């Protein structure tokens, strides 16, 4: 069945054509065919009593139209139950077999209790919990509202000032996942920075020791928590109860923050008075409050990953008397090194040689990048980088006292580690930009490093990966 539009709309990317039959939107290609021009053809001819609505909008060639994904509520397979009202009893549940219009559904045949065609009643709606067979078709319990959201997240491995326009991360490959997996072109994405190592901070656990005279003599950290920022955190203790009301002084202290957790010797600023050694006070550690920043636009996403095929010690870039590590890399293609440059930080992991290496910048022993604790896993600053096809190599300066040739034997391994790097650039910062310092951290994995997570693009514009790229 063919319908004519009033005039040639000159459809382009800024035009929208919507067709409804009895309030239900029709799907292009499935319910009707439209190839441009002034007419469209229904696959199945509507009935004469159907209510047909055709809406056409042609915007300007700017950005005055957007595409919005509507999340369905009631779907086939859900259940409805008419409730008791005006002496008509509650019906049994019945399954929805089809959605006729925006306010009308069909259910399975029902011959149970509570049937009445003269009394309007409220109903309860139950979402489908099991797969069903309805009208000779399988209707699955899956629905868009319960699809999992997987958010591209990376760890920030380079210092970020309040004015910087680029952020270095351990791996940025999923920030433009849709562009890599399909023909979708990502112009820009938003992101959320969490400074504190974790978006789910955990408070520290601390116990107190009461010394002679009823004062606090020591504090013991049983769990350092996570997500703390700054150099130290002030903690407090419960008030003494052993002497009497109004007698005694409440103690207080500060504890250093190391890699987002409380660690080190407590500085007891007030030992208090009136505590009982057999019933020590509770230590009240604050819940961490990480700082946040909403990045309003990221235009450039670069990065790569692969394996480390060899590691050996060499003279550092500062010449004789300095020490460096040379890493030999292999990736699926030289595209993994595209836009890579000297001075960029790189993440090395899963290594099998060494026993803790401190990486430095520019051969200066006081310019610590990361204090490694396991093999040679760490963050390094790339120097003397060169690449040929899928192979590459670079030199990283390390503290001269942290490694020797016997601990890092030589090259020649098939796989002795992994590498990854990422760069997010063309960034529009928020009106309240934050600064993040990560150099000098003790490296025992990336769990304490700040995070950056994608927003606005992807699944339902939430930032999550799209799952419809097949």
Say if residue 305 is in the same domain as residue 439. Answer: yes
> For residue 37, what are the CA distances in angstroms to 10, 32, 54, 211?
7, 14, 15, 90
Report yes or no on 470 lying in a domain: no
Report yes or no on 464 lying in a domain: no
Residue 363: closest CA among 340, 347, 384, 341: 384
Say if residue 182 is in the same domain as residue 221. Answer: no
- Mean of the pLDDT values across residues 277-306? 88
Three-state DSSP at 195 gives strand
Least confident of 215-224, 229-238, 356-365, 446-455: 356-365
Say if residue 179 is in the same domain as residue 300. Answer: yes
Q: For strands 441-443 and 364-372, give the pairing.
A: parallel
Residue 63 is predicted with a pLDDT of 56
Say if residue 364 is in the same domain as residue 429. Answer: yes
Label residue 403 by pLDDT band (50, 70, 90).
low
| Number of domains present in the structure of the chain | 4
Q: What is the pLDDT of residues 326-340, one digit of tens each?
A: 999 999 888 899 889
Q: What is the DSSP string of 424-451?
A: EEEEE--SS---B--TTEEESSSTTS-E
Residue 424: closest CA among 464, 387, 452: 452
- Domain termination residue (choose one: 289, 316, 336): 289
Label residue 207 by pLDDT band (50, 70, 90).
very high
Residue 470 is predicted with a pLDDT of 58
Report yes or no on 33 lying in a domain: yes
CA torsion angle 310 359 395 171 (round to 10): 70
Report yes or no on 67 lying in a domain: no
Given a cut of 50, is residue 54 above it in pLDDT? yes
Contacts of 335 (CB under 8 A, 6+ apart): 304
- Domain termination residue (choose one: 238, 259, 289): 289
Say if residue 347 is in the same domain as residue 366. Answer: yes
Report yes or no on 381 lying in a domain: yes
Say if residue 308 is in the same domain as residue 353. Answer: yes
Three-state DSSP at 21 gives strand
Report yes or no on 71 lying in a domain: no
Given a cut of 90, is residue 69 above it in pLDDT? no
Residue 349: closest CA among 372, 321, 326: 372
Structure token pair of residue 303: 């990065």
Residue 6 is predicted with a pLDDT of 46
Say if residue 278 is in the same domain as residue 302. Answer: no
Label residue 35 by pLDDT band (50, 70, 90).
confident
Look up tokens 């000032």; give the residue.
Answer: 161
- Mean of the pLDDT values across residues 139-162? 89
Q: What is the pLDDT of residues 83-141, one digit of tens each?
A: 998 889 999 999 999 888 878 899 988 989 999 888 889 999 999 999 999 988 899 99
Burial class (CB in 10 A: 0-12, 13-18, 19+), 422: buried
Domain that holds residue 263: 205-289
Say if residue 424 is in the same domain as residue 316. Answer: yes
Residue 123 is predicted with a pLDDT of 92
- Mean of the pLDDT values across residues 291-295? 87
Distance between CA atoms of residues 261 and 226, nearest Å: 5
- Domain termination residue (choose one: 259, 289, 319): 289
Given a cut of 60, is residue 4 above it in pLDDT? no
Say if residue 378 is in the same domain as residue 314. Answer: yes
Q: What is the pLDDT of residues 369-378, one digit of tens each?
A: 998 988 899 9
Residue 94 is predicted with a pLDDT of 93
Distance between CA atoms of residues 445 and 443, nearest Å: 6
Say if residue 320 is in the same domain as residue 180. Answer: yes
Say if residue 175 is in the same domain as residue 309. Answer: yes
Report yes or no on 161 lying in a domain: yes
Say if residue 425 is in the same domain as residue 301. Answer: yes
Report yes or no on 427 lying in a domain: yes
Least confident of 7-21, 218-232, 421-435, 448-462: 7-21
């Amino acid at each position: 069945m063919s319908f004519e539009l009033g005039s040639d709309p000159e459809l382009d990317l800024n035009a929208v054509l919507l067709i409804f039959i009895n309030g239900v939107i029709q799907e292009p290609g499935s319910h009707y065919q439209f190839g441009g021009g002034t007419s469209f053809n229904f696959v199945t001819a509507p009935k004469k009593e159907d209510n047909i609505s055709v809406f056409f909008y042609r915007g300007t060639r700017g950005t005055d139209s957007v595409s919005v994904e509507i999340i369905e509520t009631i779907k086939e397979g859900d259940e409805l139950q008419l409730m008791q009202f005006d002496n008509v009893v509650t019906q049994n549940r019945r399954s929805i077999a089809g959605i006729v219009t925006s306010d009308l559904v069909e259910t399975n045949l029902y011959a149970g209790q509570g049937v009445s065609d003269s009394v309007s009643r409220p109903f309860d709606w139950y979402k489908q919990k099991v797969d069903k067979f309805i009208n000779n078709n399988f209707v699955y319990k899956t629905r868009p509202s319960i699809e999992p959201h997987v958010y591209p997240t990376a760890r920030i491995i380079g210092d970020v000032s309040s004015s910087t326009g680029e952020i270095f991360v351990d791996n940025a490959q999923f920030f433009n996942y849709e562009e890599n997996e399909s023909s979708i072109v990502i112009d820009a994405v938003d992101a959320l920075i969490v400074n504190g190592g974790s978006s789910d901070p955990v408070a520290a656990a601390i116990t107190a020791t009461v010394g002679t005279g009823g004062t606090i003599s020591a504090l013991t950290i049983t769990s350092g928590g996570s997500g703390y920022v700054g150099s130290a955190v002030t903690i407090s203790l419960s008030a003494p109860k052993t002497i009497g009301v109004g007698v005694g002084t409440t103690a207080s202290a500060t504890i250093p923050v190391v890699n987002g957790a409380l660690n080190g010797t407590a500085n007891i600023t007030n030992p208090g008075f009136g505590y009982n050694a057999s019933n020590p006070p509770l230590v009240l550690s604050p819940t961490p409050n990480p700082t946040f920043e909403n990045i309003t636009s990221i235009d450039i996403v670069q990065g790569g990953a692969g394996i480390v095929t060899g590691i050996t010690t060499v003279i550092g870039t500062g010449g004789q008397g300095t020490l460096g590590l040379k890493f030999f890399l292999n990736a699926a293609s030289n595209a993994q090194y595209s836009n890579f440059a000297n001075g960029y930080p790189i993440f090395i992991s899963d290594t099998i040689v060494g026993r803790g290496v401190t990486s430095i910048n520019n051969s200066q022993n006081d310019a610590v990048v990361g204090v490694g604790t396991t093999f040679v896993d760490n963050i390094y600053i790339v120097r003397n980088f060169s690449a040929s096809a899928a192979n590459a190599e670079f030199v990283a300066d390390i503290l001269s006292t942290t490694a020797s040739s016997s601990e890092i034997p030589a090259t020649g391994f098939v796989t002795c580690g992994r590498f990854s790097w990422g760069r997010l650039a063309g960034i529009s910062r928020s009106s309240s930009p934050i600064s993040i310092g990560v150099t000098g951290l003790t490296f025992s994995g990336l769990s304490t490093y700040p995070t950056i997570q994608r927003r606005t693009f992807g699944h339902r514009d939430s930032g999550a990966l799209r799952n419809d790229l097949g």
